[in-house]
Amino acid sequence: MFNLSPYLTGLACDDCGQLWSPGPALLTCPSCGGLLDAKYDLDVIRQVLDLDSILKRKADVWRWKEFLPVHDEADMVRIGSGGSPLIRCRRLAHWAGVKELWVKYEGMQPTASLKDRSFAVAVSTAKRMGVRQAITYSSGNAAISLAAHAAHAGLTCLILVNAWADPAKLGVLNQFSWPIVKIDWTDFTEVESLLAKAVEELGVYSFVNFQNPWRHEAYQTYAFENWIDLDRQAPDHEIHPIGTGGGIFGSWKGWNALRSVGYTSRLPHLHGTQPAVASAVATAFDAGLREATPGGDPRNTIAEAIANNIPLGKGKRPLKVAYESGGSIQAISEEAIMEALYKLGEEGICAEPAGSTTVAAARQMVQHGIIKSSEVVVCTVTASGYKQPYVATARPMPTIHPTIDELKKVLQRNG
C-alpha cells in the first residue's frame, strides 16, 4: 500500500462497500463511481495508542498520525497545519443563549483557513504515492492551501477558481506562480465533469474534496483537538459550515474513532450550515431525504467559501452525519450571517462569512429549541476575515489634523 500507515486497511466505497488498495490513479470507486473512505484497524490502534506520548508531540495535525494515512515522519508535509485554538466566547454564548459557546478558530492556519488541515494530509499521501501533478477547483481557500502545500512538497499545480472569486484571494494565489484559470459555471456538475476529464485526459491528480479520498481525513482532528481542549469531554453540539461537507464528515469520523479506541463514550450532535440562498442540503434534510437536488444561486451569498448549488456526492455524506448524530442542517440568511460576523468581531475574532454561519446557526437553533440553553456548543469558524476583507459594511473614517481638540470632537460625535 505504497508504505502508507500500517493501520490503513484500504479505501471503502460508500455505495457498494468494496474495499480498494490506495493508488495514484484511484479517486472514486472503479466499480460504481461511489465516494471512497479510508479504513483503519482501530482495534490495533487501540492497543498501541498512548495518549501521554501523543500529547508530547508537536501540536499540529500530525500529532494524531495513528488515525491518518501517512505514518512516516519523513513523508509528512509540515508548514504548521492543525492545532488551532478553541476559544471560549462568553458574550457570544449570552447572545446565542447557551451555557458555553466555544469557537474553533481556523483563521490561524498557515494560509488562514481550515483547508490547510486537509491539504497537509492529502498532499503528503499523494506525494508518498508518487503523484507529481495536482489540480483542484476552489472558491479560493482550497486553491491557496493546495498551492502552498504543493509548493512545499515539490508538486506542480493547476488551479481552477470561481469566475467570481474574491479578488483578495486571487491576489494571494498569485504569490505561488501556479496557472490559475477562472471557471464560469451555472451548475456545479459542470465543474465535476471538467475535473473528471482533466484527470483522465491530462493525467493530473484531483484534490477536490470527496473526489479525492484523502482530503477529509485530516478533519478527524477536529474531534481529537476539541476533546482534549474540553478536558477530554465531548461538547453537546458541534457546528460546521458545509461546502462539500468535508469538515462535518471528517469530524464525525474522528468522534467515532475516539469512541472506538475507548477515549469517549459520548458523542456530540453535529450540525451543518449553508447560506439560505443556496441550501440544497438543508432543504433535503428538512424533507427527510438522503441526498440533495440542485437548488439556489451560489452567486447571491456573501458566504462564498460554502457557496454551491449542490455539493459533490449530492450531499449524501453531510446528510448521513446529521441523521446519525442526531444533528441537523441549518439554512442561514444573509442578514444573520452578517450579524454573526460582527458579533464575532466583538469577541476579537476575525472571521470570514462562511465561518460566521456556525455562530448564527447556534442562535437560530436555540430559538427553535434544537439546542438547550444549558448545553455546550462548539462553532467551527473556518477562516480568517482577511479572506474577504471588503465584505463588512464600510464605517465612517474621519480624517483630522493631529490635535486633541479635533480628536475630542470625533469622540463626542460617536459617543
Give the whole-angstrom CA distance, residue 167 versus residue 153. Answer: 26
- pTM for this prediction: 0.95
State residue 3's pLDDT score. Answer: 80
Structure confidence at residue 48 as a pLDDT band (50, 70, 90): very high
List pLDDT tens digits, range 56-73: 999 999 999 999 999 999
β-partners of residue 39 are 10
Answer yes or no: are the C-beta atoms of 83 and 63 closer than 8 Å.
yes
Query: Is the pLDDT assigned to residue 38 strictly greater than 90?
Result: yes
Structure confidence at residue 167 as a pLDDT band (50, 70, 90): confident
Query: Is the pLDDT assigned to residue 2 strictly greater than 80?
Result: no
State residue 1's pLDDT score. Answer: 58
State residue 249's pLDDT score. Answer: 98
Q: Flag whether 279 is in a domain.
A: yes
According to DSSP, residue 209 is labeled B
Closest CA to 63 of 43, 40, 84: 84
List pLDDT tens digits, range 130-152: 999 999 988 789 999 999 999 99
List pLDDT tens digits, range 339-378: 999 999 999 999 999 999 999 999 999 999 999 999 999 9
Query: Is the pLDDT assigned to residue 189 strictly greater than 70?
Result: yes
State residue 70's pLDDT score. Answer: 97
Answer yes or no: are the C-beta atoms of 67 and 73 closer than 8 Å.
no
Q: Flag whether 24 is in a domain.
A: no
Tell me what the mean pLDDT of segment 116-139 comes to: 94
Q: Where are the beta strands (DSSP E) in 1-128?
A: 8-13, 19-20, 36-40, 86-88, 100-105
**How many domains does the chain divide into?**
1
Phi, psi of 349 (to 5 degrees): -110, 120
For β-strands 156-162 and 133-138, DSSP reports them as parallel
Q: Flag whether 139 is in a domain.
A: no
Q: Flag whether 311 is in a domain.
A: yes
Query: Strand 36-40's sheet: what is its strand order?
Result: 19-20, 8-13, 36-40
Residue 292, domain CATH: 3.40.50.1100
Kindly state the cell numbers that stand for 167: 479578488
State residue 415's pLDDT score. Answer: 67
Give DSSP secondary structure letters for 361-398. HHHHHHHTTSS-TT-EEEEEE-BBGGGSTT-SPP----
Q: Flag whether 188 is in a domain.
A: no
**Could you tell me the residue range of the domain that residue 296 belongs to?**
86-113+216-387
Q: Flag whether 344 is in a domain.
A: yes
Closest CA to 275 of 296, 255, 290, 289: 296
State residue 274's pLDDT score. Answer: 98
Q: Flag whether 321 is in a domain.
A: yes
State residue 168's pLDDT score. Answer: 85
Kindly state the cell numbers that stand for 287: 424533507
Helix (H, G, I), strand (E, B) or coil at 7: coil
Kindly state the cell numbers that stand for 233: 469531554
Tell me what the mean pLDDT of segment 252-281 comes to: 98
β-partners of residue 71 are none
Mean pLDDT of the chain: 95
Give the whole-angstrom CA distance, residue 67 versus residue 220. Answer: 8
Phi, psi of 259 (to 5 degrees): -70, -40
Q: Flag whether 42 is in a domain.
A: no
Closest CA to 299 of 288, 291, 307: 307
According to DSSP, residue 351 is labeled B
Intra-chain end-to-end CA distance of the chain, in Å: 66
Query: Is the pLDDT assigned to residue 396 strictly greater than 90?
Result: no
Query: Strand 328-332's sheet: what is its strand order?
Result: 86-88, 100-105, 376-381, 237-241, 269-275, 328-332
State residue 166's pLDDT score. Answer: 81
Give the whole-angstrom CA distance, residue 349 versus residue 411. Answer: 24
Query: Is the pLDDT assigned to residue 247 strictly greater than 70?
Result: yes
Structure confidence at residue 18 as a pLDDT band (50, 70, 90): very high
Answer yes or no: are the C-beta atoms of 37 and 213 closer than 8 Å.
yes
